[in-house]
Chains A and B, each alone.
Chain A
């Protein structure tokens, strides 16, 4: 016990002194425009955090800004890690869960790590900038962000702490018998050189078709038709562990694809590679689904991936082309085109058309299943290396030169000789797992900021409703006609067209409260031409299918007696607003 107390005391001392050492005195620093000058939560945005690291930053943000950030675990991963969600809004103003919401997650593909940092940076920036940035204050008064930095924490930790390539695991960690031989994970990658990175194997060979690249001897290039090579490439670092004549065919590094597990257009694995058993058969996705179902105020969503520098929208499957109608595409286009401006090197693309058909993706369920305007940004593009077009080809010289002159060869494992049980004397080497898909440290913060700015723009354009007008007209005989105009000053309607088509969310309610008797209520179709549609049942609350983006709806009531009128609007995705006259 005594020892325990001592331990706590030491911990406090270390933590306390740590904070003291790290935070600068206010008079020692000078604000760079657009960045928090002396943040309460010191976080370094040129490195990556495992799940424990993310958890700690989340907790610090929530502790430092109790009126702006609340932290909750919205479920557990397969291995029992918390799925943390930070709710960021001005909790002193309005009901958080009734404000139009923007949901952000990252890291669904476990090797696509920076989505978590980008999401977390967003939470950090919003809370740290709230004090001195009027725009953020107004934004958080109106809107709420739900930020889940990683929705695949088990495999995130697996990616960081176990031997992997830059492209593995991508999966979660539920074991699957990949080759159908009755054994599970019996033949995974093998970290022959024990450096935590799974790289390439090559072997000197008189019959090889590869040679060293004269521009950078670390690189391998194929020889021409009339040329002799010196090396053969033997694939990814590994051995045939189970003696079945195949290498690396059943490991923990790819079990399934969590982004083929969502409940819209889901297809089984033989049609959609990566699909698990049925929609939301993965516990992490199930937790997100349940959270989204409980938060119908979510109107916009971003799911961060890597790589390639893309702002993606659905549909994922060709079969769903008709799901997206012109009105919704106009909203998607307007926001994403702004995104292309904000994030240099990123291109706005459509999944099925510009990439490949993918069924059961997260963005498809968010949009088609729930009516939420959703993008997936594919973070990191080789463009960012030299601010000009480049490819993600691992043998691209741009990568090697960037590594040589800007990273000082930190991204490369030099070739070295090893004995392989099947291949004999081989060499192991190649690009490390943290290069090619993940941002190099010095580019991480700036791209996080740009992508956050895009999310903020995206969120800004969720509906903003106002009661613009309440007017009264005397009809004689003690009857009054009360007209209300409700405006939506942002791009998104309260119901996307997919939503109105399938009635995903209930209509918006526009309610008149008055001491008089409401005899009739109607939605006005054309005020000038006096066209309207009566709602016979419950006329005090007019049910409106949608309040269009950058538009308005007009309703009116015939009232007997009364004088003071309050008009209240209650929209699942548009929030609540009321005005009196």
Chain B
């Protein structure tokens, strides 16, 4: 036992202090287990399911007492298999939060808020980063026929230069559509045909046409991508999306848990989608479609408020524009789960300023790769670019084919040593977000004796938080609980005026609803008001 504890401790120390790189699935599990050992009163860890690749889908619950009765934030990492940072942010948030749990403010927070942390929804895919050949993989271990030709995984990428990385092929061709970047010849950019430019290269992901069907790498290892497999705007039949929504075990495990977690009022996911740096604007046409496709106006306002807070806390800027493509968790959280839903990649390559000492000038053509290379060089990050090298390619006999280009993963995951700062800022954001949560209270209680044994009770049920008890769209959702205001009578008490039970769709931020009853009888009577997303308040009244 002692030995086990020491080992666990060592693992934890190794994981948190000594880590030089992102954690693989085993290390992720160690870090999570270490937390439950260190904070048994504040955490529970559960494996919701195992993926087809045999990996656990973990749920770490952080909170105190009856966690299911406190308003909750779901924190989801590993939304995309190539986004190592998202998992680091989710686990790192838990570590930061719990490390601070000795303080009064965090204690108070955990007395009123529950966090459900799903550290990694793409464990099968993420393991690719730690394998012999690095390639940005999105799909899990489910066998799929991506090009729907009746054969599975018959044409994946190939590490033609045997450097352990899947990069890019450029093939010289008179019909090529890419040309060299004018300011950085390592980088290829699209030739602008509209301006009469001519391309010189065709680009392909490193590989060969293994099945000789004229397509390259169209059906390799890697099945269904979590962030394409959810139910909103699912692209059925598209590669990686699944034959129907929620086809995968990990998807269903999360949905099954969350649909029963009526206390969740907000979902925060870490992935390429970003409505935190820039909020999603209210679009009346989209919001009013039969199949609702845009945020309802009050919900767009909340997005704006939370986005402001996010930008203040994280100090982030120059976020790239994102394009929500369907089947994603950000959309699901709002449109189908009916909760406030936020997503951020957490980090992106900062805009690099030209180094005048090196006589660099602003780029004549904006390009993400060129910017990355300039930034990386300024940061002293080396060895993330493979110089172009000519190879013999069986599919292009007699043509000049070169392998090279930027490493996988580096454009959307910072070097690990920079991850800690990202984690801390986002932990701060998640704590701050909870300070805005809906909170029910009962105020302005008044009792009037109308006669002996006849009392009028009146009171206001207020939401003290700066978010509504329910998103506006969530008010329509079947899987939410309404705000219930109930007068609970004891023996020999009769309600002669008013309704015993009121159900309200919501109470908006910083607003209240008034109730009154006329009760015949004496003794103590109870009023209970609340809902899982905003907590429940009970008061006793003497008649």
Chain A residues in the interface with B (C-beta under 8 A): 176-177, 179-182, 242-245, 263-264, 266-271, 275, 277-281, 289, 293, 319, 365, 369, 502-504, 506-507, 536-537, 543
B150-A369 in contact (CB<8A): no
Q: Is B236 an interface residue (CB 8 A)?
A: yes
Determine the chain B residues whose CB is within 8 A of the CB of A245 once the complex forms.
499-501
A277-B212 in contact (CB<8A): no
Q: Is B246 an interface residue (CB 8 A)?
A: yes
Q: Is B137 an interface residue (CB 8 A)?
A: no
Min C-beta distance of A422 to chain B, whole Å: 13
A280-B246 in contact (CB<8A): yes
Min C-beta distance of B441 to chain A, whole Å: 19
Determine the chain A residues whose CB is within 8 A of the CB of B480 once the complex forms.
180
Considering only CB atoms, which chain A residue lies closest to B232 in the complex? A268
Q: Which of B2-10, B237-245, B270-278, B368-376 participates in binding chain A? A: B237-245
Considering only CB atoms, which chain A residue lies closest to B335 in the complex? A268
B243-A179 in contact (CB<8A): no
Contact of A270 among B213, B255, B478, B500 (CB under 8 A): B478
Most buried by B among A277, A281, A369, A506: A277
Interface residue tally on B, bucketed by range: 35 or more
Q: A180-B503, A536-B212 are in contact. List 9 more A-B contacts (CB 8 A).
A: A182-B531, A243-B500, A244-B501, A266-B231, A269-B478, A278-B246, A503-B148, A504-B237, A506-B149
B244-A369 in contact (CB<8A): yes
Determine the chain B residues whose CB is within 8 A of the CB of A369 once the complex forms.
236, 243-244
Min C-beta distance of A78 to chain B, whole Å: 14
Considering only CB atoms, which chain B residue lies closest to A317 in the complex? B291
A280 to B484, CA, bound (A): 31
A365-B244 in contact (CB<8A): yes
Min C-beta distance of A97 to chain B, whole Å: 17
A279-B244 in contact (CB<8A): yes
A506 to B246, CA, bound (A): 23
**Interface residues of chain A: helix, strand, loop or mixed (majority):** loop
Considering only CB atoms, which chain A residue lies closest to B212 in the complex? A537
B481-A177 in contact (CB<8A): yes
Determine the chain B residues whose CB is within 8 A of the CB of A243 once the complex forms.
500-501
Determine the chain B residues whose CB is within 8 A of the CB of A263 once the complex forms.
236, 243-245, 247
**Interface residues of chain B: helix, strand, loop or mixed (majority):** loop
- For the complex of A and B, 8 pairs with smallest distance between CB atoms: A263-B244, A506-B150, A269-B478, A503-B148, A270-B476, A244-B501, A180-B482, A278-B246
Q: Provided the pairs A267-B291, A270-B478 are in contact, do residues A277 and B501 lie with their beta carbons within 8 angstroms?
A: no
A278-B255 in contact (CB<8A): yes
Considering only CB atoms, which chain B residue lies closest to A368 in the complex? B236
A537-B259 in contact (CB<8A): no
Contact of A279 among B231, B338, B501 (CB under 8 A): B231
Determine the chain A residues whose CB is within 8 A of the CB of B213 once the complex forms.
537
Determine the chain B residues whose CB is within 8 A of the CB of A271 once the complex forms.
290-292
Min C-beta distance of B538 to chain A, whole Å: 13
Considering only CB atoms, which chain B residue lies closest to A505 in the complex? B150
A268 to B245, CA, bound (A): 12
Min C-beta distance of A139 to chain B, whole Å: 29
Min C-beta distance of A275 to chain B, whole Å: 8
Considering only CB atoms, which chain A residue lies closest to B489 in the complex? A243
Residues of chain B in range 435-485 having any CB-CB distance to chain A below 8 Å? 473, 476-482, 484
Most buried by A among B255, B484, B499: B484
A279-B503 in contact (CB<8A): no
Q: Is B420 an interface residue (CB 8 A)?
A: no
A293 to B480, CA, bound (A): 33
Q: Provided the pairs A244-B503, A278-B255 are in contact, do residues A502 and B476 lie with their beta carbons within 8 angstroms?
A: no
Contact of B244 among A180, A280, A503, A537 (CB under 8 A): A280
Min C-beta distance of B262 to chain A, whole Å: 8
B252-A181 in contact (CB<8A): no
Determine the chain A residues whose CB is within 8 A of the CB of B292 once the complex forms.
271
A543 to B148, CA, bound (A): 13
A537 to B150, CA, bound (A): 15
Considering only CB atoms, which chain A residue lies closest to B475 in the complex? A270
A502-B503 in contact (CB<8A): no
Min C-beta distance of A47 to chain B, whole Å: 37
Q: Is B134 an interface residue (CB 8 A)?
A: no
Residues of chain B in range 210-239 having any CB-CB distance to chain A below 8 Å? 211-213, 231, 234, 236-237
Contact of B259 among A242, A277, A504 (CB under 8 A): A277
Provide 11 A-B residue pairs closer than 8 Å at the C-beta atoms, listed in order of the A residue.
A181-B481, A181-B503, A182-B481, A182-B532, A263-B243, A266-B244, A278-B252, A278-B336, A281-B252, A503-B237, A507-B149
A319 to B290, CA, bound (A): 11
Determine the chain A residues whose CB is within 8 A of the CB of B184 once the complex forms.
none
Min C-beta distance of A494 to chain B, whole Å: 13
Determine the chain A residues whose CB is within 8 A of the CB of B476 once the complex forms.
270
Considering only CB atoms, which chain B residue lies closest to A502 in the complex? B237
Q: Is B540 an interface residue (CB 8 A)?
A: no
B236-A242 in contact (CB<8A): no
Determine the chain A residues whose CB is within 8 A of the CB of B481 once the complex forms.
177, 180-182
Residues of chain B in range 469-518 having any CB-CB distance to chain A below 8 Å? 473, 476-482, 484, 499-501, 503
Min C-beta distance of B482 to chain A, whole Å: 4
Q: Provided the pairs A270-B476, A503-B148 are in contact, do residues A264 and B236 lie with their beta carbons within 8 angstroms?
A: yes
Considering only CB atoms, which chain A residue lies closest to B246 in the complex? A278
A369 to B149, CA, bound (A): 17
A428 to B148, CA, bound (A): 60
Determine the chain B residues whose CB is within 8 A of the CB of A504 once the complex forms.
148, 237
B231-A269 in contact (CB<8A): no
A369 to B243, CA, bound (A): 8
Q: Provided the pairs A264-B244, A270-B477, A537-B213 are in contact, do residues A179 and B503 lie with their beta carbons within 8 angstroms?
A: yes
A281 to B231, CA, bound (A): 12
Most buried by B among A244, A507, A537: A244
A289 to B481, CA, bound (A): 31
Q: Is B360 an interface residue (CB 8 A)?
A: no
A245 to B517, CA, bound (A): 14
A269-B479 in contact (CB<8A): yes
Most buried by A among B212, B255, B291: B291
Min C-beta distance of A396 to chain B, whole Å: 33
Determine the chain A residues whose CB is within 8 A of the CB of B473 once the complex forms.
270
Considering only CB atoms, which chain A residue lies closest to B213 in the complex? A537
Q: Is B197 an interface residue (CB 8 A)?
A: no
Min C-beta distance of B394 to chain A, whole Å: 14
A182 to B533, CA, bound (A): 12
Determine the chain B residues whose CB is within 8 A of the CB of A176 once the complex forms.
478
Q: Is B256 an interface residue (CB 8 A)?
A: yes
Determine the chain A residues whose CB is within 8 A of the CB of B234 once the complex forms.
266
Most buried by A among B231, B243, B252: B231
Determine the chain A residues whose CB is within 8 A of the CB of B246 once the complex forms.
278-281
Determine the chain A residues whose CB is within 8 A of the CB of B499 once the complex forms.
244-245
Considering only CB atoms, which chain B residue lies closest to A183 in the complex? B484
Contact of A319 among B149, B244, B291, B478 (CB under 8 A): B291
Min C-beta distance of A392 to chain B, whole Å: 28
Determine the chain B residues whose CB is within 8 A of the CB of A279 once the complex forms.
231, 244-246
A268-B500 in contact (CB<8A): no
Min C-beta distance of B107 to chain A, whole Å: 28
A245 to B479, CA, bound (A): 22
Determine the chain A residues whose CB is within 8 A of the CB of B149 once the complex forms.
503, 506-507
Residues of chain B in range 374-390 having any CB-CB distance to chain A below 8 Å? none
A242 to B484, CA, bound (A): 13
Min C-beta distance of A187 to chain B, whole Å: 11
Min C-beta distance of B333 to chain A, whole Å: 12
Considering only CB atoms, which chain A residue lies closest to B292 in the complex? A271
Q: How does the 8 Å CB contact mask read for B138-158 relative to A, with 1 for contact and 0 for none?
A: 000000000011100000000
Determine the chain B residues whose CB is within 8 A of the CB of A289 once the complex forms.
244
Considering only CB atoms, which chain B residue lies closest to A289 in the complex? B244
Determine the chain A residues whose CB is within 8 A of the CB of B484 once the complex forms.
181-182
A268-B231 in contact (CB<8A): yes
Min C-beta distance of B145 to chain A, whole Å: 8
A277-B479 in contact (CB<8A): yes
A245 to B499, CA, bound (A): 7
A507 to B145, CA, bound (A): 13
Determine the chain B residues whose CB is within 8 A of the CB of A537 once the complex forms.
211-213
